C-alpha cells in the first residue's frame, strides 16, 4: 500500500500558460515529480533478479545495490509485506539477510571496499526493521546487531590523530575517508534510533572526524582532512553533522553557504552520489539551503530521466555501476520531502 505524506511542493520551472492559477501550477509541478518517481520504482521492480537481489553492472548482485533499491521503494512510500511492491521488497530484504558473513560483514562479493556495501546495507536494515513482523523482523534485528558491532569494531582500530573516529574500505583499515564514514555514521544513527545500543562516544568520535574533513581553508568538506572541497563531499559532511544533532552549527552553515555558491553540477564525477547527499543534507538544513538546492537538483534529475524510468551516469565508476545505482540514488534525492524514510525526518 502506498502511503502519501503531505509534502512541500517542489518549485520546478515549467512552461505553463500565463493565465494558469497558482494552485494549478503547483499541482502540475507535484504531479510531474510524483510521476517521475513512480516510473523509477517500476523500473527498479522490473530490474530485480530472480534471486531477489539487485545488481550493479560492474559488480553483479550486491548487498549495496539491493539495499539502495529497497530504500528507494520505501522513500517513494512503499513498504515491505504489503502493497504492490511488498513482495519485491520482502525478497530483497531476505536476500540481504542471507548474506552476512560470520564476522558480521554484510556483503556478497569481496571487493577493495566492502565497508561501502556494509554501511549501506546496515542503514537499510535499520530503516526497515520497524516495518517488519514475525521471523523476518527477528532475523533483521539479529543481523543488524551484528552489523553494528562490526562498524563499531572498525572504528576502534588503532589510527593516528588524522584518521581517528572514521572508517575506510575494510574493517581493519588504519586510515579513514569521509565517503565511507558517511555511510557508517548514517547506519549508526538509524540503528540507534530504533533502539540499538550505541554509545554516544562512537557518534561523537565520528562527528569529530567529519569536522576534521573540512576542506582547505575551512571551505566545504573534502574526501580526507586537508583536501580540496567538492559539492559531493560537502553534502556528505552536512548530512553527517545534521543527523547527529549538529544542526546549523558553524561548520554546517559555512558548508551550506559553499554549496549555494558552488552547487552540484551534472558533469561532476559521482553526480548521483552527490545528488543524494546534497539533497538530504540541505533538506535537513531547511530554509534557503534546501530551497536553492531543490531548485537546482530536481530539474536536473527530471530532465535526464530515461524513457524506461531509469537514470544512468555518464562518467567514471558511476557509469560502470549502471542504472540500478543511479536510479535508486535519484529516487532517494527526489523523494526527500515525502519523509517516509526515518532518516529523512527532521
Give the domains, in start order, of the chain with CATH numbers: 32-344 (1.50.10.20)
The pLDDT score that the predictor gives to residue 73 is 98
Torsion (CA) 142, 99, 339, 301 in degrees, nearest 10: 170
| Torsion angles phi and psi, residue 215, rounded to 5 | -70, 175
Q: What is the pLDDT of residue 23?
A: 65
State the Cα torsion 172-59-314-168 to the nearest 10°. 0
**DSSP secondary structure letter of residue 160:** -
Q: How much is the pLDDT for 8?
A: 40
**What SS3 class is residue 153?**
helix
Question: What is the DSSP secondary structure assignment for residue 177, as one 8-state letter?
Answer: B
pLDDT for 85: 97
pLDDT at position 58: 75
User: Quick one: pLDDT at residue 20?
Assistant: 60
Cβ contact 235:256 at 8 Å:
no
**SS3 at position 55:** strand
**pLDDT score recorded for residue 229:** 96
Q: Calculate the alpha carbon distances from 340 to 77, 191, 332 in Å.
A: 6, 16, 10
C-alpha cell at 188: 549508526
Q: What is the pLDDT along the chain (346 residues), one digit of tens a residue?
A: 445 433 443 434 444 455 566 567 657 777 899 999 999 999 999 999 999 999 998 789 999 999 999 999 999 999 999 999 999 999 999 999 999 999 999 999 776 689 999 999 999 999 999 999 999 999 999 999 999 999 999 999 999 999 999 999 999 999 999 999 999 999 999 999 999 999 999 999 999 999 999 999 889 999 999 999 999 999 999 999 999 999 999 999 999 999 999 999 999 989 999 999 999 999 999 999 999 999 999 999 999 999 999 999 998 889 999 999 999 999 999 999 999 999 888 7
Q: What is the pTM of this model?
A: 0.92
Amino acid at each position: 500500500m502506498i502511503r502519501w505524506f503531505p509534502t512541500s511542493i517542489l518549485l520546478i520551472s515549467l512552461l505553463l500558460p500565463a493565465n494558469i492559477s497558482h494552485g494549478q501550477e503547483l499541482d502540475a509541478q507535484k504531479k510531474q515529480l510524483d510521476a517521475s518517481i513512480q516510473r523509477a520504482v517500476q523500473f527498479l521492480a522490473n530490474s530485480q533478479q530472480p534471486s531477489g537481489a539487485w545488481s550493479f553492472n560492474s559488480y553483479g548482485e550486491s548487498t549495496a545495490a539491493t539495499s539502495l533499491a529497497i530504500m528507494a521503494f520505501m522513500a517513494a512510500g512503499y513498504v515491505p509485506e504489503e502493497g504492490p511492491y511488498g513482495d519485491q521488497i520482502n525478497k530483497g530484504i531476505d536476500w540481504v539477510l542471507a548474506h552476512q558473513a560470520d564476522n558480521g560483514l554484510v556483503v556478497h562479493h569481496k571487493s577493495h571496499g566492502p565497508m561501502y556495501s556494509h554501511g549501506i546495507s546496515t542503514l537499510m536494515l535499520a530503516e526497515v526493521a520497524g516495518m517488519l513482523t514475525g521471523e523476518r523482523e527477528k532475523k533483521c534485528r539479529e543481523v543488524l546487531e551484528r552489523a553494528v558491532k562490526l562498524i563499531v569494531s572498525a572504528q576502534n582500530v588503532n589510527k593516528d590523530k588524522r584518521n581517528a573516529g572514521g572508517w575506510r574500505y575494510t574493517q581493519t583499515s588504519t586510515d579513514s575517508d569521509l565517503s565511507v564514514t558517511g555511510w557508517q555514521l548514517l547506519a549508526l544513527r538509524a540503528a540507534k534510533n530504533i533502539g540499538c545500543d550505541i554509545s554516544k562516544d562512537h557518534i561523537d568520535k565520528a562527528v569529530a572526524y567529519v569536522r576534521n574533513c573540512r576542506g582547505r581553508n575551512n571551505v566545504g568538506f573534502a574526501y580526507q582532512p586537508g583536501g580540496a572541497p567538492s559539492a559531493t563531499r560537502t553534502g556528505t559532511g552536512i548530512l553527517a553533522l545534521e543527523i547527529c544533532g549538529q544542526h546549523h552549527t558553524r561548520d554546517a552553515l559555512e558548508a551550506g553557504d559553499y554549496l549555494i555558491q558552488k552547487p552540484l553540477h551534472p558533469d561532476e564525477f559521482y553526480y548521483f552520489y552527490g545528488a543524494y547527499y546534497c539533497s538530504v543534507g540541505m533538506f535537513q538544513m531547511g530554509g534557503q539551503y534546501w530551497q536553492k538546492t531543490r531548485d537546482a537538483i530536481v530539474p536536473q534529475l527530471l530532465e535526464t530521466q530515461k524513457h524506461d524510468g531509469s537514470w544512468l551516469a555518464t562518467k567514471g565508476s558511476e557509469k560502470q555501476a549502471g542504472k540500478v545505482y543511479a536510479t535508486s540514488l535519484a529516487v532517494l534525492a527526489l523523494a526527500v520531502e515525502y519523509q517516509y524514510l526515518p532518516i529523512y525526518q527532521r
